Amino acid sequence: MQFTEAASQTDDVASLADLALRTLQQVLPGSSGAFYTRTEVDWTPLRWTADFPPDLLAVLRRGLPLDTPLFTNLREADAPIFLNDWCAAHPAGEEQRPFHAVAAYPVHQQGELCAVLGIALQDVPAWTPEREALVRALGRSFALLYDRVSAAEQLHRQRTLAEGREHILSVLARLTADFTTAQDDYALIEQVQAEVLRLLPPGHAAYWEQDGALWRLRAHVNDVGHPDLMTLMRAGMPAGATPTLDVPWTTGRPLYQNAYPGGRDVAAEMTTHIHAIASLPIGHSGARRGVINFTTFAPYQWNRVDQALLETLAQGLWLAMERASHLRQLEEERASLAAFAAFTEAVGTERDSLRLAQQAVTLLTTTLPGLSVAFYVRSGPQWVARVWSEDIDPGLLTQLQAGVSATAPDFARAVDSGEVVFADDWDAAGNDLPGADMYSTAAFVPLVVDGQTQQLLATGVRARRSFSERERGIIRAVGQGLALALERATSMTTLAARTAQVERANQDLDALNEELESFMYSASHDLRTPVRHAQGFVDVTLRALEQGQVQKAQQKLTVVKDATGRLAGMIDAMLTLSRTGRQPLHLSACALDPLVRRAQQDAHLQFPHQEVQWDIGPLPTVLGDRALLQQVLTHLISNAVKFSQGAAPARVTVRADTSGGADPRGGQVTVSVQDQGIGFNMAYAARLFGLFQRLHTQQDFAGAGAGLATVKRIVMRHGGRVWAHSEVGQGATFSFTLPLAESGSSEG
C-alpha cells in the first residue's frame, strides 16, 4: 500500500497517526477520524481530522473516561469493532449524532491495548464488507508500524530526557555556583525555565507566588499564546479558584495534566491551543515559595522520565533559592556592619542633630549612587525636611521643606511599626507628595530616640526596581547608626545641661557661702562700728545733759543719728543682696539698649549737677532677668558717674563685645562700663566685690558698700562672671559676661 511506503519514512507516532487519518479520508471519502492514546486517567486524542464539529472536538480534547463503552467493548472483543446506526448512547451525546457508522481499530503494545484508531462515517448508515476490509488493512499496517515507531520514539525520548535531566542538573549547578547577591531569584528561575523549554514541545513556562488573594506572575518565558490570557495572568489569578496552581500548592505534590481541560482555570476559549500542563510546588511544607508550571502548545504526555526531570528541577530550584537567600543575608550583614562602622567613624562625638543627619545623607549617597535621601523632623502634624541630598529637584524640595502630612501612609506605617518600610512600587501622590512621582522605589527609616519617633530618614530610587538585599542592609544600618547617634547626642546634651546646672548650683552655693561669711563678718565687724559710735555718743550725750550742756548734747545726737542711718542703710543693703540670691530668675530675651537708657536717667537723678559725656556702643539682646540686669547696669553706670565727680564733663563709655562667642545658637557677650574718674589701686581689686568692702572713705564717696557685691551675685546667677581693671587717677573699667539670646528671638 502507498500508506506503508510513506509510513516507513516516519519516526514519530504523531506523524504516523496524521498519515493514517489522511489515508483513511482518501480511501473512504466522507469519513472522519481520531487517534487516541491511553493514559493513566483517560483516553486522550493525539490527532484528529479537521472536519470534526467544534463542540465534539471540545469534548474529545478534554479526554474520554477509561470506561467509555466503545473502548471497553474494544478491549473485551480484542478485535476491531464496526458499529452501524450509531446512536446517542455515548458520553458525547448530541454532538455525535451526525455520525451514522463508527469503527474502532485496537493497537496493542506488549499485549496491552495502548491506542485506538477511530473512524466515523457521516453520510453512510452502515459498513459494507469493502469498507471494513479497507479499515482492517490500514489498521494492520498502522498497528505494525506503531509498535516500531512507538518503541523507537520512546527510546529516543528516554535518551533525550535523560540527557536533558543531566543538562538541567548541570545548568542548576552552574547557575547556583555563579550566583551573586546582585541577582534575584526570578532571574535564576527564568534561566532555568528557558533551559527546560528547549527539551519540550513549543510552549510557555511561568512561576507564581501567592500575594494575598491572588497568584502573582513573578517570572515567565515565552508568550502564553493568547493576548487576553496573557493580560489576565499579568493582572493575577485568583487563589483558591485556579486549580492548576492551587492543587500543587495545597497538596505539596506535582500536578500533571496530559490533556488540559478547557475552562478549568479560565474561559475555555482562551486555552484551545493548550494541550498539557505540569505544575510543581517550589519549597517544602511550611516554607513553600511558589508554583512553577510548564505548558505545551502541542499534544504531549508527561511520562515518568519527564516527571523525574521536573521534580529534580523543582528541588534544585528550591535549594538554589535557599542558598541565594543565605548569600544575600550574609551580604546584607556584611554591608550593614561596614555601613554602621563607617557611619560611627564619620560622626565621631558630634552632638548636633542636623550635622549628624548630614553625615548619614552623605554616607548613603556615596555608598549607594543614584539614591536620593532626605532627613525629616516632626513638626506638629507634618514631617518637615531639614537635610537632603543635592540631587533632589528644586520643585520637590520646596514641597519637602513645606512639610509632608504625618498621616501619609508610608510615613505613618514606618512610625507605627518602628521598622524600616520598603515600598517597591511607591505611590507618590498617595503619600501627599505628587512632585515626587519620579521615584518608583522608596524606603522610610523611623529614628526612634528615647522611645519616640520625632525624626525620619527617607530614601528614593528613580529606576523601577526593588532594593537589593545589600541596599536594604546599608539603609537599615545607617538608620540604626543615626538613631543611636541622635540618642547619644540627646543624652550628651542632657548630661551637659545637668552638669551646667550642677556647676551653677555649686557656684550659687559658693556665692551663698561667701555671702554667709560676709554676713557673719559684717555682723561681727562692719555693723558693730556704727553701733559702737551710737553707744559712745549716747553716753557722751547723757553726761552733757546731766551737766546742762544742751547744745553739746544736740551735736552728739546728730552723730548718733548719722550712725544709725548708716546702720539702717547697711542692713537694707544686706537685705537687698539676700533677696537677689533668693528670688527666682525670670529669663527672657532682653535688649540692653533700654536698660542702659534707664540707668542713664537714674544716674542723672542721683547726680543732677554732674555733666556727663556718654559714649554708648551697639548693644545686643541677652538672655536674662530684666529687673535684675537693670540693677546691675544702674549700679555700674551710677558708680562711673559718682567716681568721676568734679570732672567737666565726666566721660562714661558702655561697650559690648561678642567676638568671643556670638553664634546663632547662643554664646556670651562681654559688657563693659568705663569711666575716667579717680580709679583705684589694683592691689586691692579682690576686695571690690565683697560686702561692705570700700576703697574710699564715706566722707569722700557715700554709699553702703554692698552694690558691687549685689552686681557680682546677679551676674553669677546668670552664669557669667564680673571683674574690674583700673589705674589710680586713670579711671576704672567694670566688665561682666551674659548669655546671648538665640538668633531670631525677640524681647518678650
Q: What's the CATH number where 203 sits? A: 3.30.450.40
Give 578's pLDDT tier (boundaries 50, 70, 90).
Answer: low
Give 672's pLDDT tier (boundaries 50, 70, 90).
Answer: very high
Each residue of 192-243: pLDDT tens digit?
A: 888 888 888 899 999 999 988 999 999 999 999 999 999 999 999 999 999 9
Give 571's pLDDT tier (boundaries 50, 70, 90).
Answer: low
Each residue of 307-347: pLDDT tens digit?
A: 888 888 888 788 777 777 766 666 655 655 565 566 666 55
Give 96's pLDDT tier (boundaries 50, 70, 90).
Answer: very low
- The segment with the largest mean pLDDT, out of 282-286, 419-423, 607-611, 643-647, is 419-423
Q: Are residues 354 and 249 in the same domain?
A: no
Nearest to 624 by CA among 713, 500, 501, 747: 747
Q: Are residues 275 and 214 in the same domain?
A: yes
Predicted local confidence at residue 610, as pLDDT: 86
Instruction: Give exposure, 537-572, as e/b (b: 16+ Cβ within 10 Å).
Output: beebbeebeeeeeeeebeebbebbeebeebbebbee
Each residue of 581-605: pLDDT tens digit?
A: 556 777 889 999 999 999 999 888 8
Tell whether the model's pLDDT for residue 609 goes beyond 60.
Answer: yes
Average pLDDT over residues 654-673: 73
Q: Distance between CA atoms of 292 and 210, rounded to whole angstroms?
A: 12
Residue 593: give the domain boundaries: 584-748
Q: Out of 15-24, 119-128, 297-306, 541-550, which region has the weakest mean confidence (pLDDT)? A: 541-550
Helix ranges (DSSP H) in 286-439:
304-347, 353-367, 394-402, 409-417
Structural domain contains residue 25 = yes
Give 164's pLDDT tier (boundaries 50, 70, 90).
Answer: low
Each residue of 383-429: pLDDT tens digit?
A: 999 999 999 999 999 999 999 999 999 999 999 999 999 998 899 98
Q: Are residues 559 and 691 in the same domain?
A: no
Among 538, 563, 583, residue at a domain's last position: 583
3-state DSSP call for residue 560?
helix
Give 664's pLDDT tier (boundaries 50, 70, 90).
Answer: very low
Q: Are residues 593 and 705 in the same domain?
A: yes
Q: Distance between CA atoms of 414 and 470, rounded to whole angstroms?
A: 20
Among 448, 473, 494, residue at a domain's last position: 494
Structural domain contains residue 503 = no
Q: Residue 683: what are its φ and ψ, rounded to 5°?
A: -65, -25
Q: Distance between CA atoms of 255 and 235, rounded to whole angstroms?
A: 23
Per the model's pLDDT, the better-predicted residue between 562 and 319 turns out to be 319
Cα distances (Å, whole numbers) of residue 112 to 45, 74, 127: 18, 12, 27
CB of 637 within 8 A of CB of 671?
no
Among 445, 470, 494, residue at a domain's last position: 494
Q: Are residues 143 and 24 in the same domain?
A: yes
Q: Are residues 413 and 461 in the same domain?
A: yes
Give 723's pLDDT tier (boundaries 50, 70, 90).
Answer: very high
Predicted local confidence at residue 705, as pLDDT: 53
Total structural domains within the chain? 5
- For residue 217, count other CB atoms closer than 10 A to its CB: 18
Q: Are residues 551 and 643 in the same domain?
A: no
Structural domain contains residue 303 = yes
Predicted local confidence at residue 541, as pLDDT: 74
Q: Out of 19-23, 145-149, 249-253, which region has the weakest mean confidence (pLDDT)? A: 145-149
- The segment with the largest mean pLDDT, out of 32-46, 432-446, 652-666, is 432-446
Average pLDDT, the chain: 80
Structural domain contains residue 210 = yes
Tell whether the model's pLDDT for residue 748 goes beyond 50.
Answer: no
Q: Are residues 71 and 123 in the same domain?
A: yes
Each residue of 513-559: pLDDT tens digit?
A: 665 565 555 555 455 556 665 666 677 777 777 777 777 777 767 76
Predicted local confidence at residue 178, as pLDDT: 54
Average pLDDT over residues 12-26: 85
Predicted local confidence at residue 511, as pLDDT: 62
Average pLDDT over residues 702-717: 72
Structural domain contains residue 544 = yes
Q: Distance between CA atoms of 727 and 680, rounded to whole angstroms?
A: 6
Q: Are residues 551 and 594 in the same domain?
A: no
Q: Are residues 541 and 593 in the same domain?
A: no
Tell whether the model's pLDDT for residue 28 goes beyond 60.
Answer: yes
Q: What's the CATH number where 745 sits? A: 3.30.565.10
Predicted local confidence at residue 684, as pLDDT: 67
Predicted local confidence at residue 75, as pLDDT: 87
Q: Are residues 741 and 653 in the same domain?
A: yes
Give 91's pLDDT tier (boundaries 50, 70, 90).
Answer: very low
3-state DSSP call for residue 93?
helix
Predicted local confidence at residue 696, as pLDDT: 46
Q: Are residues 297 and 362 in the same domain?
A: no
Structural domain contains residue 457 = yes
Structural domain contains residue 508 = no
Structural domain contains residue 514 = no
